[in-house]
């Protein structure tokens, strides 16, 4: 009888152990999925939490002088401007204009380009409107519409642009590029933020 009771107890313990193991296995993917969702949410919020009300900006010319990245097969918004020959140009800076739709964006500044063909020099100036400040600028100036990655493929990723500045709540920024010849293309990118010290005079928010 003792042997029968012992076998019964061992059987019950084995069944209970299997059920616990199966329960833990069933719950593990859900826990992983929940953790992944939390990580993704934190990652998505990094830009907003760290920088406040900040948004990506790009310079835009008229439709005849600029081309939307999306129309050229890229999967992000923004514009390449050109070709430009020697002269002085002024272009609008738009923030948050998803799909290259300026009606969805906010006009946040002005871009000035001075191209002196005699001295082979291009000067590019970012000027943020009142209520906004610049935290980053990335600039491409070249003979082709887009910069090219080391593998030879064109790119619109701002990190691949050859000229860049990290800024501390700047109202303006400028670049001077030398040894420039022939017609040029320009992509002017930046990150612009609401200026808290300005009392929110920039139109009630970026984008």
User: Residue 139 to residues 44, 50, 114, 115, 184: CA-CA distances in angstroms?
Assistant: 25, 23, 14, 15, 13
Q: What integer pLDDT is reported at residue 6 of this predicted model?
A: 52
d(CA 201, CA 118): 41
User: Residue 108 to residues 36, 61, 76, 170, 179: CA-CA distances in angstroms?
Assistant: 36, 14, 19, 13, 31
Token representation of residue 104: 């969805």
Q: What integer pLDDT is reported at residue 196 of this predicted model?
A: 75
Q: What integer pLDDT is reported at residue 8 of this predicted model?
A: 53
Q: How many residues does the chain have?
A: 207
Average pLDDT along the chain, 207 residues, taken 10 residues at a time: 52 49 39 38 35 87 96 97 98 97 97 98 98 97 96 96 96 98 98 78 47
Q: What integer pLDDT is reported at residue 123 of this predicted model?
A: 98
Q: What integer pLDDT is reported at residue 29 of this predicted model?
A: 38
pTM metric for this prediction? 0.72
Phi, psi of 151 (to 5 degrees): -85, 5
Q: Report yes or no: 138 and 190 within 8 Å, Cβ to Cβ.
A: yes
**DSSP at 96:** S
Q: What integer pLDDT is reported at residue 45 of this predicted model?
A: 33
């Amino acid at each position: 009888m003792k042997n029968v009771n012992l076998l019964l107890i061992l059987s019950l313990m084995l069944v209970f152990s299997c059920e616990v193991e199966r329960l833990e296995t069933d719950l593990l993917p859900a826990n992983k999925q929940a953790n992944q969702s939390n990580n993704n949410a934190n990652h998505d919020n990094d830009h907003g939490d760290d920088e406040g009300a900040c948004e990506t900006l790009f310079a835009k010319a008229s439709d005849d002088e600029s081309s939307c990245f999306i129309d050229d097969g890229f999967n992000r918004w923004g514009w390449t401007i050109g070709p430009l020959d020697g002269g002085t140009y002024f272009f609008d800076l738009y923030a948050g204009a998803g799909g290259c739709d300026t009606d969805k964006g906010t006009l946040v500044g002005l871009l000035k380009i001075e191209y002196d063909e005699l001295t082979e020099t291009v000067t590019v100036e970012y000027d943020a409107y009142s209520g906004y400040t610049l935290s980053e600028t990335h600039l491409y100036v070249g003979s082709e519409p887009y910069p090219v990655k080391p593998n030879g493929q064109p790119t619109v990723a701002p990190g691949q642009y050859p000229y860049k500045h990290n800024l501390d709540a700047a109202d303006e920024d400028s670049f001077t590029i030398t040894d420039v010849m022939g017609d040029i293309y320009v992509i002017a990118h930046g990150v612009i933020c609401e200026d808290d010290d300005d009392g929110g005079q920039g139109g009630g928010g970026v984008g």
